[in-house]
Amino acid sequence: MDNRLIVALDIFDGDRAIEIASSLRELIFAVKINWPIILGAGPDIVRELSRHSRVICDLKLADIPNTNALITEKVAELGAYGIISHVFTGSDSLRAVRESGRKLKLLAVVSMSHPGGSQFINRIHEDLLAAAISGGADGVIAPGNNESLLSEIREMGRELVIVSPGIGAQGGSATKAVMAGSDYIIVGRSIYESPDPVKAVEDLNRQIHEGMAARSTRMNTFS
């Protein structure tokens, strides 16, 4: 099966994260981790989770090039599959991530799924998308709960992989997001707070494949 689901493990408990990743490994594309679990379980959780799944480190890097480079080097050393960086700090900061983590898949944030995203970042998504492309990003983060914005980003970045949060707890539909242009879907709370994470993932996979069947453009994938 062409798995297109990324599970966000926004939790503190490393043992619980490993349990979820292990139980879902055949049903998902990757897990995404953020600062909560790194602070709660320590950086080695990246290496431990990588034994069960691809790991995307959602650190949303937003610093000067040297600091971005140092963080990226450590993430690569720990065996991660990908890393997420902001773009608004400038193309030099994004290039530092690209150059320091050559084997890592680089995802650049060009818009966000929470209500506050409309205040600043979503207003400049065109400039951020252009910077992401010129900075060598493999893909971009764009909200699955904002289908009109997602469709616009899809049209502008036809060759880029689009990874979309905002599904489930934030109101977005996996099927509609894929139809609007998402290539991979990120879901967290609807899975790790579910009494049956496997069933939750199976339901989401069905929704994603319904969107893929109805989509008029090809699906992009990580090379």
How many Å apart are CA 202 and CA 89, to the nearest integer?
A: 38
Active-site residue, from 32, 60, 74, 199: 60
**Tens-digit pLDDT profile for residues 181-209:** 999 999 999 999 999 999 999 999 999 99
Question: Average pLDDT for residues 54-76, to the nearest whole number?
Answer: 98
The single-letter code of the amino acid at 110 is: V
DSSP state of 165: -
First-to-last alpha carbon distance for the chain, in angstroms, is: 17
Cα torsion 173, 176, 177, 181 to 10°: value is: 180
**Tens-digit pLDDT profile for residues 141-166:** 999 999 999 999 999 988 899 999 99
Nearest to 10 by CA among 54, 65, 59: 59
**Tens-digit pLDDT profile for residues 95-136:** 999 999 989 999 999 998 898 888 889 889 999 999 999 999
pTM of the model: 0.96
Based on the residue annotation, tell me whether 105 is a catalytic residue of this protein: no
Determine the pLDDT at residue 170.
Answer: 86
Give the chain's mean pLDDT: 95
Domains of the chain: which residue ranges?
A: 5-214
How many Å apart are CA 173 and CA 196, to the nearest integer?
A: 20
CATH number of 5-214: 3.20.20.70
